[in-house]
Amino acid sequence: MLRGRESLVRLVGKRRRFLPNRLSLLSSPVENTLNLCSGEDFKPLPVVKTPDAHKDGETETSSSGKYVTCPVCSSRVNGEDSIINSHLDACLSRGTKRKLTQSSLLQLNFYSRPKVQHHSHVLKFEKNESSVGPDDGPVDIVHRLPKDASYNENDKIKCGSLEECAMQPQRDCLLDTLHNSERTNGATEIYSPMNKGATSGMVTTTKDDLSGMILETFIVGRKFSDEKELNLGACISLERDPTNVKDPNAIKVISEDSGCCKMLGFLPRELAKFLSPLIGKYCLSFKGFVTTAPRSSVDVVPIEVMCDNINLLNEKIFDVEFKNLWTSIQQVIDSMKNFTPNALKYQKNFCLLIQEVLQGYSHLLSDDENHFLDLFSSLSDDNQRLFIRLYMRKGPWFRMSSTSYKEVLDSKQAVKELSEAGYLCCFDTNEADNTDMIQILNLLTVSELREVMCMLKKNCSSSMRKDDLVASLLAPYEDGLCPLLPDLILGKIGICVRLSSKAELLIWRAERLFFLNGEQDLSAFLLVDMGIVKYPTYSCIISDQIFLDRNDLLAYEEAIEVAQLIDEALDEDNKMVLRCVSVANSRVKPNQCTTSESVPFFSFFTASWIYSKVLSLGVSFLERENRYNDAVLLLKRLLSCNTPDGRRGYWTLRLSIDLEHLGYPSESLSVAENGLLDPWVRAGSRMALQRRILRLGKPPRRWKTPSFAESIKRKITEVHVQGRPLNRETGMKSRFYGESGEQCSVEQLALEYYNGEGGGWLGVHSESGIWLTIFGLLMWDVIFSDVPNVFRTKFQTAPLDFGTDSFYLLRQNSIESQLLKIQDGMGEEILITSWESHKGTACSGVNWDRHSLAELRAAVTCIGGPCMASLCRHLAQDYRSWSSGMPDLLLWRFNSEYSGEAKLVEVKGPRDRLSEQQRAWLLLLMDCGFITEICKITPMPKSA
């Protein structure tokens, strides 16, 4: 893998289905300051239009705020005057004919006028106007812009009735398929248990009916309970909790066994909403028992309850309100028979995410975007659940005839209402393009594809695979020879939907703002609910905003798109890679800082930071292609634009190496010498530059011996161990036979040697893992201390400044205080306390499963306080530089019960050599007082 790609992949996270700025990024002219096209003028790449981009009224995400459609080539272009003019000049110079619908070059909103007149934008509707009942007539709302239309937040999209749409060759109304059964042509009916659920429970209205009526429900919120263990048949009662700050209708479940009045949890909120008034206003009391014992202390617990004082009530209290409440209770109970409350946590989690974003980041969203996200909370449960389910699936298209969820009672109605609200789009035969057609065809089964082939009177061999069938159907459609294909497919597939591009864009943005990274998504909630991941406890103290304004956010998102584009293109499209590198090179700015100067680590959320990562990857790509001139230009650009940056050491080293490749040893030496004056050049990169200076700076190029020469040339103790090799092939990982005759790695062979004739050492092969675990445990309270702005969500395993210089500077007093305790010999005590208090809690660098507490205690005890404190200080000051490259083996042996000694060993096979980072670590550890060695495994002679 190219250097920097893994980091870029983590930054991008889950790839987006569509990129709203793809067209502008690939079609807009870019100032070519690099020779990335082998002497040719840099021209925009030919753009294949993404089907999702700029449809459905999605929001523009350009940092400039406006994008327009070119009247010549129909590409999306940045709205700045200079870019528009340059793009038009390039298009017109190619001789392309201008569209007759163009009114003026000075108008920004170029687009062809639609034939159908439209009215009422979907997002401006009032709830009571847009709600359509199941018996209502066809809906006259379309949620697609014309194919070449631009979208503005205040635009109003209008559409005629279905009768007008029907006059077109192919109907283009979105909801047509929902109301015309002849279009489905016998497609499977969507599963909907609505009628069954509505009639399964009897609505009780009299005292006799209520007497003895059993309500089957669950105990939830077990983590708040006083009693953690429950047995089958345990007696319970219900009690209102009107002081509950989260829900005034909350109902507690109380234990009645042995006179114990401990709280066992709560009733589900949906049920408590209607049952609480009955208990409060009508003085009903309920008792029951546990029907199934829970397997864990946080599981929902099935129970049965009944009213035990119904006979004492007067028949007159059964008024209309009482009857309505009891009817609602019966409906809730019926719906709970199909799924437990835990099955709906994803809905609550999703709504929580949306609300948190609206509360904390509404200033970064337009009024239309705020309204669109806020609208989600007013949707019905069915609508919310169906949308979330589809959002979490791969897609992009979903065949509703084969999609059903038991918690969604009426999928057809949900699709209809979500489409009206702009969250879903149905497959539209009038708008289908080639990409849509490929995706829709792949939803059909092989037998259905063959049926379509027969209907078109095409030869269909029984040996044809699905890909061949799809290709055979698609080819004539692309050539315009089969215009009826979309209608035939729709007849087979029935209702087919996808998320609207606007909904997908805004939910992606909400996830990004909520988690502040691309690696976490809604599954983070699920992992917590299932008890798989437990996040640490800390305080979120927010005093500064990460993004100062909307433009900063949009520029950041656009930079992420460039990062995704280059990652997608690396394995197959070199021209696209060069295009992305050129875009990043043109947009990264010298010393650009758009965030608060008091919070320097917010620079990770700027567009320039992402573009610098793209350029770093571009350097590796160009070096792989032996294009060292271009790589040198990129490296100089990076070094001039990113002054305070921990990556400067790597960039300086690569610049020096590439200059030597080009035959400029003097310039290479000067770069290395200047790099040593840079305070951001550290650890292995600094060591590598020093070694280059000693090699390149020989007389007559340099006569003076550098002051660091003696330190660099220090000898590291070497031990040679012979082993019986399993393989001797170059390029393969070395494997040997151990003492027991079984196959083992060079590290395991070294452990056997040190445990035996090497001195009776115990130890582990851990590299950096055990050290980062020890550091995390010893410094736990410091890492999660109350520091402003470093904790923004409840899903962090480390503060945002972890690995930056700010981490030590903002906590210097507490860090030094903790290091003093470690130096005085309290390390083992701190380690034990931290392990017992936080075991299983996620923390960056801490691996709870790989090492036992006994191993960690032995390591800390034998290393000793001074050495351990020195090592922790280096990690606290520069975690990023020192968190990798540590020696392979950590060995220890006890001299007495409470003292011992430790040794660190770097193991090298027959064809391995030390990296500069490893050499830097060994010399640093020697300075800290550690015993260090290099163990070289050599194969026995073949004659032996």
Structure confidence by residue, pLDDT tens digits, 264-281: 888 888 888 888 888 888
Whether the per-residue pLDDT at 128 is higher than 80: the answer is no
- DSSP 8-state code for residue 244: -
Rounded-to-integer distance, Cα 909 and Cα 651, Å: 29
Rounded-to-integer distance, Cα 534 and Cα 797, Å: 9
Q: How far is CA 633 from the centre of its chain?
A: 33
Structure confidence by residue, pLDDT tens digits, 564-596: 999 999 988 899 999 999 999 999 887 654 444
pLDDT score of 260: 67
* 214, 315: one domain: yes
* 482, 547: one domain: no
* 756, 619: one domain: no
Dihedral angle of Cα 230, 236, 237, 241, to the nearest 10 degrees: 0
Whether the per-residue pLDDT at 223 is higher than 50: the answer is yes
* 685, 723: one domain: no
pLDDT score of 313: 62
pLDDT score of 578: 93
Prior bond of 396 cis (ω within 30°) = yes
Bridge partners, residue 499, by sequence: 424
Residue with tokens 């997908």: 504
pLDDT score of 47: 47
Which residues, including other chains, have CB under 8 Å from residue 432's CB and lie 6 or more apart? 440, 486
Confidence bin at 844 (pLDDT 50/70/90): very high
The reply to whether 195 falls in a domain is: no
Which residues, including other chains, have CB under 8 Å from residue 286's CB and lie 6 or more apart? 215, 237, 238, 275, 279, 305, 306, 307, 308
| Number of domains the chain is built from | 4
Q: Which of 218-232, 332-346, 864-878 has the highest mean pLDDT?
A: 864-878
Burial 747-768 (b: 16+ CB within 10 A, else e): bbbbbbbbbeebeebbbbbbbb
Confidence bin at 868 (pLDDT 50/70/90): very high
* 853, 814: one domain: yes
Rounded-to-integer distance, Cα 569 and Cα 576, Å: 6
Report the amino acid identity of residue 424.
L
* 300, 279: one domain: yes
pLDDT score of 675: 94
pLDDT score of 68: 66
pLDDT score of 306: 86
* 782, 890: one domain: yes
Residue among 571, 648, 579 at smallest CA distance from 612: 648
The reply to whether 349 falls in a domain is: no
The reply to whether 140 falls in a domain is: no
Structure confidence by residue, pLDDT tens digits, 671-708: 999 999 999 999 889 989 998 999 999 888 888 889 88
pLDDT score of 184: 33
Rounded-to-integer distance, Cα 412 and Cα 99, Å: 41
The reply to whether 590 falls in a domain is: yes
pLDDT score of 395: 81
* 766, 858: one domain: yes
**Largest CA-CA distance found in the chain, in angstroms, rounded:** 111
Write the burial class of residue 94 (CB in 10 Å: 0-12 exposed, 13-18 middle, 19+ buried): exposed
764 and 903 in contact (C-beta within 8 Å)? no
Lowest-confidence segment of 33-42, 650-659, 775-784, 820-829 by average pLDDT:
33-42
Q: Which of 232-241, 392-401, 776-785, 933-942 has the highest mean pLDDT?
A: 776-785
pLDDT score of 155: 36
pLDDT score of 100: 33
**Range 176-195 average pLDDT:** 33
Rounded-to-integer distance, Cα 881 and Cα 155, Å: 51
**Range 18-45 average pLDDT:** 66
Q: What is the CATH number of the domain that holds 587?
A: 1.25.40
Which residues, including other chains, have CB under 8 Å from residue 462's CB and lie 6 or more apart? none
* 250, 266: one domain: yes
Whether the per-residue pLDDT at 58 is higher than 60: the answer is no
The reply to whether 514 falls in a domain is: yes
Q: Which two tokens stand for residue 134?
A: 């199941």
* 671, 724: one domain: no
**Range 308-323 average pLDDT:** 69
Rounded-to-integer distance, Cα 761 and Cα 752, Å: 9
Lowest-confidence segment of 175-184, 311-320, 574-583, 864-873 by average pLDDT:
175-184
Mean pLDDT of the chain: 79
pLDDT score of 789: 93
pLDDT score of 332: 83
**DSSP assignment of 875-890, as one string?**
HHH-HHHHSS---SEE
Final residue before a domain boundary, out of 651, 681, 713: 713
610 and 562 in contact (C-beta within 8 Å)? yes
Region for 821 from its dihedrals, namely left if φ exceeds 0, alpha if ψ lies in -120 to 50, beta otherwise: alpha
Whether the per-residue pLDDT at 183 is higher than 90: the answer is no
Please indicate whether residue 406 or residue 386 has the higher confidence score (pLDDT). 386
Residue among 357, 353, 790 at smallest CA distance from 543: 790
Confidence bin at 54 (pLDDT 50/70/90): very low
Structure confidence by residue, pLDDT tens digits, 744-754: 888 999 999 99
**Range 14-35 average pLDDT:** 78
Does the reported pTM lie above 0.75? no
Confidence bin at 402 (pLDDT 50/70/90): confident
Final residue before a domain boundary, out of 518, 545, 562: 518
Q: What is the CATH number of the domain that holds 315?
A: 3.30.70.2330
Lowest-confidence segment of 174-178, 364-368, 657-661, 709-713 by average pLDDT:
174-178
Q: Which of 22-31, 232-241, 480-489, 825-834 has the highest mean pLDDT?
A: 825-834
**Range 536-564 average pLDDT:** 94
Dihedral angle of Cα 252, 258, 260, 263, to the nearest 10 degrees: -30
Q: Residue 410: helix, strand or coil by DSSP?
A: coil
pLDDT score of 309: 74
Structure confidence by residue, pLDDT tens digits, 467-494: 888 888 888 777 777 788 888 888 888 8
Taking each helix axis from N to C end, the angle separating 269-281 and 320-336, rounded to the nearest 10 degrees, works out to 150
Q: How far is CA 206 from the centre of its chain?
A: 54
Whether the per-residue pLDDT at 236 is higher than 70: the answer is yes
Rounded-to-integer distance, Cα 600 and Cα 545, Å: 12
Which residues, including other chains, have CB under 8 Å from residue 532's CB and lie 6 or more apart? none
Confidence bin at 538 (pLDDT 50/70/90): very high
pLDDT score of 278: 84
Structure confidence by residue, pLDDT tens digits, 80-106: 554 566 566 556 655 443 333 333 333
The reply to whether 183 falls in a domain is: no
The reply to whether 653 falls in a domain is: yes
Whether the per-residue pLDDT at 135 is higher than 60: the answer is no
648 and 681 in contact (C-beta within 8 Å)? yes
* 886, 903: one domain: yes
Q: How do 286-290 and 301-307 pair as beta strands?
A: antiparallel
**DSSP assignment of 312-336, as one string?**
GS-GGG--HHHHHHHHHHHHHHHHH
Report the amino acid identity of residue 283.
C
* 701, 790: one domain: no
Rounded-to-integer distance, Cα 536 and Cα 533, Å: 10
pLDDT score of 782: 97
- Provide the residue range defining the domain that includes 839: 717-939
pLDDT score of 247: 81
Q: How do 931-939 and 718-725 pair as beta strands?
A: parallel
Which residues, including other chains, have CB under 8 Å from residue 838's CB and lie 6 or more apart? 536, 777, 780
Whether the per-residue pLDDT at 556 is higher than 60: the answer is yes
pLDDT score of 428: 78
Confidence bin at 530 (pLDDT 50/70/90): confident
Bridge partners, residue 896, by sequence: 899
Which residues, including other chains, have CB under 8 Å from residue 390's CB and lie 6 or more apart? 398, 424, 497, 499
Q: Residue 743: helix, strand or coil by DSSP?
A: strand
Write the burial class of residue 718 (CB in 10 Å: 0-12 exposed, 13-18 middle, 19+ buried): exposed
pLDDT score of 119: 35
The reply to whether 771 falls in a domain is: yes
DSSP H stretches of helix in 878-932: 879-882, 916-928
Rounded-to-integer distance, Cα 826 and Cα 99, Å: 79
Whether the per-residue pLDDT at 339 is higher than 80: the answer is no
Confidence bin at 69 (pLDDT 50/70/90): low
